[in-house]
């Protein structure tokens, strides 16, 4: 069953296959999905969409130019209420806990199932600002 969503999600991952997989999966749920293959490109998209709502940012933790931890910090400095889902197959607890410190930020370990992706995305989007 295809859910009708009206949320916009930005996915930032330097792995083109992972980026396409997440974009396609979220698209099947009706989400509007923007993509960036580098952290700096993700910031550029966020800056260019200031008048438009981006409801969630999904970030790969390990990227070559601006890594996920730095990207999440920059996003939260500009938009403290932004919802962020950090993905990685390489994250150690110290790095993850440095980012995942609020109800608006969650972590999804790679590899993950599409069901897990949908579950985490739905949970984050359901969180209301305090």
Cα separation, 81 vs 83, in Å, equals 6
pLDDT in tens, 5-36: 589 999 999 999 999 999 999 999 999 999 99
Residue 130: which pLDDT band, with cuts at 50, 70 and 90? very low
Token pair of 29, please? 């749920």
How far apart CA 88 and CA 92 sit, in angstroms, is: 9
48-71 per-position pLDDT tens digit: 876 678 999 999 988 888 888 889
Say whether the peptide bond before residue 65 is cis (omega within 30 degrees of 0): no
pLDDT at 29: 94
Span 98-113, pLDDT tens digits:
666 677 888 898 889 9
User: Are the CB atoms for 110 and 58 separated by under 8 Å?
Assistant: no
pTM above 0.85, yes or no: yes
Q: Which of 41, 43, 23, 21 is nearest to 32 (CA)?
A: 23
**CB-based burial label for 23 (10 Å; 0-12, 13-18, 19+):** middle
How confident is the model at residue 5, as a pLDDT? Answer: 57
Q: Is the pLDDT of residue 40 over 80?
A: yes
Residue 94 pLDDT grade (very low, low, confident, very high; cuts 50, 70, 90)? very low
């Amino acid at each position: 069953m295809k859910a009708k969503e009206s949320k916009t999600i930005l996915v930032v991952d330097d792995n083109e296959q992972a980026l396409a997989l997440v974009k396609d999966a979220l698209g099947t749920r009706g989400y509007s999905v923007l993509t960036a293959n580098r952290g700096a490109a993700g910031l550029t998209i966020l800056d260019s969409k200031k008048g438009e709502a981006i409801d969630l940012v999904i970030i790969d933790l390990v990227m070559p130019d601006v890594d996920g931890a730095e990207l999440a910090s920059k996003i939260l400095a500009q938009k403290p209420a932004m919802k962020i889902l950090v993905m990685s197959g390489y994250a150690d607890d110290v790095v993850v806990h440095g980012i995942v410190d609020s109800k608006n930020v969650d972590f999804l370990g790679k590899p993950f199932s599409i069901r897990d992706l949908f579950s985490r995305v739905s949970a984050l989007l359901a969180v209301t600002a305090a």
